[in-house]
Amino acid sequence: MCGIAGLIHRGKSSNVGEELQSMLQALKHRGPDSTGYALYAENDGQNFIMRFKVGENVGEGSTSVNEDESVYDERKKLVDKKLSSLGATVVKEDRLTPYSFRYEIKIDMDLMEFSKAIESINNVEILSIGKSLELVKDLGDATAVSERYGLHKVKGTHGIGHARMATESGVDIKSAHPFWGYPFSDVSVVHNGQLTNYWNNRRALENKGMRFMSECDSELIAVFLAEKMRNGATLEEGMKESLTGLDGVFTYFVATKDSLGMAKDTMAAKPLVLYESDDLVAMGSEEIAIRSILPQEITTYDPFDGEVKVWQI
Amino acid sequence: MANLKTTNKKTKAQSMGMHTEVLTGRTQQKFFNPDEGENFFYFGAHDVDFNKRTELDVKDLDCKQANQKIDELMSKGYGTIVIKNPQGKHSLGVGILNKLNLIFEGSLGYFGVGSIDGPIVRVNGRVGWSCAENMMAGKVVIEKNAGSCFGAAIRGGDLICKGSVGARTGIDQKGGSIIVGGDAGAFTGFMMQRGRIVILGDVGINLGDSMYDGTIYVGGKIGSFGSDAVEAPMTKNDIDWLTRKLKVAEIGNDFDVTKMTKIVAGKKLWNYDALEPTEKKGAI
């Protein structure tokens, strides 16, 4: 089933981490397996933030293979070595769980080449790279993940999130949402639905040099949009193309450093409720997500079939 | 088993494009007696007094607790119940099988007031997916917008949304009226079998797709017609009915119903072909 939520404050920052946590917690019944956040935080914009993992969370109902934690240290050393060889400078590093890290780095090279080099290390996956994007995903509900990573303290302009019920692939972090729009800085995607032409699209995109890290059909949306943008399309143009390029049922959100967008398939088979005012847009799979941050009476609506909308901060 | 026969007699309903076929047969003729409706009694229905009014704040209740409270109030004879702070909760006000004035001061989530038979409901907010699903009788008025599958499979009553509704409005509708003041999404009237849908605004693609019977009236633009949905001429009966119904629905006071488009089933799908009666019986 899965639940998705997103919000964007226009013209100001807010406590987006706490707000998104409330929205996703209200949607827990739609997806208890994992929760993910893509928060666009008030960073100074000087360095890239790289979130990556060197292993899986093997607790909390995970379908991943159990590993000794010592291998995480080995992989981290390999990442550090690789960063050094690429000429990257690590300004700050945080180890948030035994398997996941947040690095602030200075790099001066193509992000695709950089990512390929880092991910050439076995079992290392970059969750995101960006100057404001803080992408975190892990097993557990919204509150558990937020507390584990300290997300309730994050201030910023916008964010998207996902409460996942695993149907198309395993209960693990690599299949959890959001997906980074590799290799673009600060692009993330969450999806509710099923895509039925996943393998056809995946083969075609891989032949064009795009990378997939999971077998989760939702990852296709991020890669599909990234490929369109790589060829010069705007985010909105790519999203409009996705309505015919992707087959299946879907409502998805995509966020960049300064915008938030939504798209709904032409059958309108997946739910979405939207609230829009001059300074705030909040949306989610169910109204209770919006009500968790706006308890007062407001006017909400369901976007129609085949609708694409993009808002700027 | 019922047989499907084409009737030659033209009733008022048939002149409006509905009920061009009637069900006849053992079940219909022998076992169903409309007079029995007078003596019909629902287990769990309550005898209430409309003048007995109360309020219920459901802010801190889950949907089961809230519905139990409503039932408890009805069992005490309260006939007018105002629900405070519904805050988008799912499945509120379902399964009410008696007369009742039920007012929600706020919005409902999914499956609000489903499977009801008799109450008059007003929602001073929005409703989520599948509002009033399987409603048998009564009147439900939504002051703002509604989600998809609005009035799915309703069998009777008036279901009114003053704002816009999502996709698949009136899917599998079997009777009653759905009236929408704004726009409607794709697949409106999908597989509807009886009843009427009125949309004053625009509708999305595949309007009336695979409808068996019933009538859809659209005031605005139509995205596209679905399989076997065809336009039919408006009659005086249609205009009279629409004028009367919009007044009851409290919307579209100045709306020119004569300019609406009427859509009915073309009856060219497999279930309307020239099968022998025995074959048709088997297919149904």
Cα B69 to Cα A96, B77, B122, B127: the distances in Å are: 46, 13, 18, 21
Contact status of A276 with chain B (Cβ, < 8 Å): no
Q: Cis omega (within 30 of 0) on the bond before B86?
A: no
Q: What is the pLDDT of residues A75-130, one digit of tens each?
A: 999 999 999 999 999 999 999 999 999 999 999 999 989 999 999 999 999 999 99
Is it the case that residue B2 has pLDDT exceeding 50? no
Beta-bridge partners for A133:
A40
Helix (H/G/I), strand (E/B), else coil: A8: strand
Cα A170 to Cα A61, A119, A164, B223, B276: the distances in Å are: 10, 21, 11, 40, 52
Q: Which pLDDT value is given to residue B253?
A: 81
End-to-end CA distance of chain A: 29
Instruction: Report the C-alpha gap between A129 and A52 in whole angstroms.
Output: 9
Indicate if A216 belongs to the active site: no
Interacting residues of B110 by C-beta distance below 8 A, sequence separation 6+ = A286, B90, B91, B128, B129, B130, B147
Q: What percent of chain B has pLDDT over 70?
A: 81
* Contact indicator for B54, B82 with CB cutoff of 8 Å: yes
Torsion of CA B9, B14, B17, B19, to 10 degrees: -90
Which pLDDT band, with edges at 50, 70 and 90, does B98 fall under? very high
Query: In terms of Cα–Cα distance, which of A68, A57, A3, A52 is closest to A252?
Result: A3
Residues of B in contact with A267 (CB under 8 A): 167, 186-187
Instruction: Report the C-alpha gap between A161 and A180 in whole angstroms.
Output: 12
Which pLDDT band, with edges at 50, 70 and 90, does B28 fall under? very low
Is it the case that residue B97 has pLDDT exceeding 60? yes
| Closest residue in chain B to residue A292, using alpha carbons only | B87
Residue pointed to by tokens 């009788």: B137
Q: What is the pLDDT of residues A235-255, one digit of tens each?
A: 999 999 999 999 999 999 999
Instruction: Give the gap in angstroms from C-alpha B260 to the nearest C-alpha of chain A.
Output: 22
B21-25 and B49-57: which strand pairing?
A: unpaired
Query: Which member of A268, A297, A299 has the closest CB to residue B185?
Result: A268
Q: Which pLDDT value is given to residue A68?
A: 83
Yes or no, beta carbons of A305 and B185 under 8 Å apart:
yes
Instruction: Report the C-alpha gap between B204 and B184 in whole angstroms.
Output: 6
Burial degree of B4 (CB within 10 A; 0-12, 13-18, 19+): middle
Query: In terms of Cα–Cα distance, which of A168, A101, A94 is closest to A138?
Result: A101
Instruction: Give the gap in angstroms from C-alpha B210 to the nearest C-alpha of chain A.
Output: 15
End-to-end CA distance of chain B: 10
Is it the case that residue B35 has pLDDT exceeding 90? no
Contact status of A177 with chain B (Cβ, < 8 Å): no
Q: Which pLDDT value is given to residue B31?
A: 52
Is it the case that residue B29 has pLDDT exceeding 60? no
DSSP string of chain B, one letter each residue: -EEEEE-----HHHHTT--SEEEEEHIIIII--GGGGGG---TT----EEEEEEEEE-TT--HHHHHHHHHHHHHTTEEEEEEE--TT-SSTT-S--S--EEEEES---TTTT-S-EEEEEEESS-B-TTTTTT--EEEEEESS-B-SSTTTT--SSEEEESS---SSTTTT-EEEEEEESS-B-TTTTTT--EEEEEESS-B-SSBTTT--S-EEEESS-BS-B-TTEEEE---HHHHHHHHHHHHHHT--TT--GGG-EEEEE---SGGGS---HHHHHHH-
Q: Which pLDDT value is given to residue B231?
A: 97
Domain residue spans in chain A?
A: 3-45+139-312
The interface pTM score, or ipTM, of the predicted complex is 0.83
Instruction: Report the C-alpha gap between A51 and B112 in whole angstroms.
Output: 42
Q: What is the pLDDT of residues B40-56, one digit of tens each?
A: 677 788 999 999 999 99
Yes or no, beta carbons of A271 and B128 under 8 Å apart:
yes
Which residues of B lie closer than 8 Å to A, measured between beta carbons? 85, 87-90, 105-107, 109-110, 124-126, 128-129, 144-148, 163-168, 183, 185-187, 204-205
Give mean pLDDT, residues A200-213.
Answer: 91
Is it the case that residue A17 has pLDDT exceeding 80? yes
Residue type, B61: L
Here the tokens at position A54 are 């060197």
Yes or no, beta carbons of B186 and A290 under 8 Å apart:
no
Instruction: Report the C-alpha gap between B138 and B122 in whole angstroms.
Output: 11
φ/ψ of residue A114, rounded to 5: -60, -50
Give mean pLDDT, residues B196-213.
Answer: 96
Q: Which pLDDT value is given to residue B33?
A: 59
Query: In terms of Cα–Cα distance, which of A115, A136, A142, A124 is closest to A179?
Result: A136
Is it the case that residue B219 has pLDDT exceeding 60? yes
Q: Which pLDDT value is given to residue A169?
A: 77
Residue pointed to by tokens 């981490």: A17
Burial degree of A244 (CB within 10 A; 0-12, 13-18, 19+): exposed
Contact status of A291 with chain B (Cβ, < 8 Å): yes
Instruction: Give the gap in angstroms from C-alpha A274 to the nearest C-alpha of chain B.
Output: 11
Neighbours of A169 (CB within 10 A): 17
Give mean pLDDT, residues B264-269.
Answer: 87
Burial degree of A131 (CB within 10 A; 0-12, 13-18, 19+): middle
Q: Which pLDDT value is given to residue B281?
A: 58
Is it the case that residue B72 has pLDDT exceeding 70? yes
Q: What is the pLDDT of residues A280-309, one digit of tens each?
A: 999 999 999 999 999 888 899 999 999 999
Which pLDDT band, with edges at 50, 70 and 90, does B135 fall under? very high
Q: Which pLDDT value is given to residue B270?
A: 65
Query: Which member of B109, B183, B186 has the closest CB to residue A287?
Result: B109
Mutation test of the interface with chain B: which of A29, A265, A298, A301, choosing the one with the most B Cβ atoms within 10 A? A301
| Closest residue in chain A to residue B111, using alpha carbons only | A286
| Closest residue in chain A to residue B149, using alpha carbons only | A269
B49-57 and B78-84: which strand pairing?
A: parallel
Residue-averaged pLDDT of chain A: 93
Q: Which pLDDT value is given to residue B39?
A: 64
Q: Which pLDDT value is given to residue A179?
A: 92
* Contact indicator for B175, B159 with CB cutoff of 8 Å: no
Give mean pLDDT, residues B223-247.
Answer: 95
Q: Which pLDDT value is given to residue B274?
A: 56
Is it the case that residue B3 has pLDDT exceeding 70? no
Which pLDDT band, with edges at 50, 70 and 90, does B268 fall under? confident
Burial degree of A273 (CB within 10 A; 0-12, 13-18, 19+): buried
Tell me which of B2-16, B109-123, B147-161 is least confident: B2-16
Yes or no, beta carbons of A302 and B87 under 8 Å apart:
no
* Contact indicator for A176, A190 with CB cutoff of 8 Å: no
Q: Which pLDDT value is given to residue A11?
A: 87
Interacting residues of B47 by C-beta distance below 8 A, sequence separation 6+ = B77, B98
Q: What is the pLDDT of residues A149-185, one digit of tens each?
A: 999 999 999 999 999 998 877 888 988 999 998 888 8
| Closest residue in chain B to residue A287, using alpha carbons only | B88
* Contact indicator for A62, A139 with CB cutoff of 8 Å: yes
Residues of A in contact with B187 (CB under 8 A): 267-268
Query: Which member of B124, B126, B183 has the closest CB to residue A300?
Result: B126
Instruction: Report the C-alpha gap between A135 and A128 in whole angstroms.
Output: 6
Is it the case that residue B230 has pLDDT exceeding 70? yes
Contact status of A286 with chain B (Cβ, < 8 Å): yes
Tell me which of A55-64, A209-218, B156-165, B243-252 is least confident: A55-64
Instruction: Give the gap in angstroms from C-alpha B217 to the nearest C-alpha of chain A.
Output: 20
B101-105 and A280-284: which strand pairing?
A: unpaired
Q: Which pLDDT value is given to residue B278?
A: 62
Task: Write down the CATH number for the domain with range A3-45+139-312.
Answer: 3.60.20.10
Residue pointed to by tokens 């985010």: A235
Run of H or E including A111: helix A111-119
Q: Which pLDDT value is given to residue B1?
A: 42
Q: How far is CA B233 from the centre of its chain?
A: 23
Residue-averaged pLDDT of chain B: 88
Rg (C-alpha) for chain B, rounded Å, is 20
Q: What is the pLDDT of residues A257-285, one digit of tens each?
A: 999 999 999 989 999 999 999 999 999 99
Instruction: Give the gap in angstroms from C-alpha B118 to the nearest C-alpha of chain A.
Output: 27
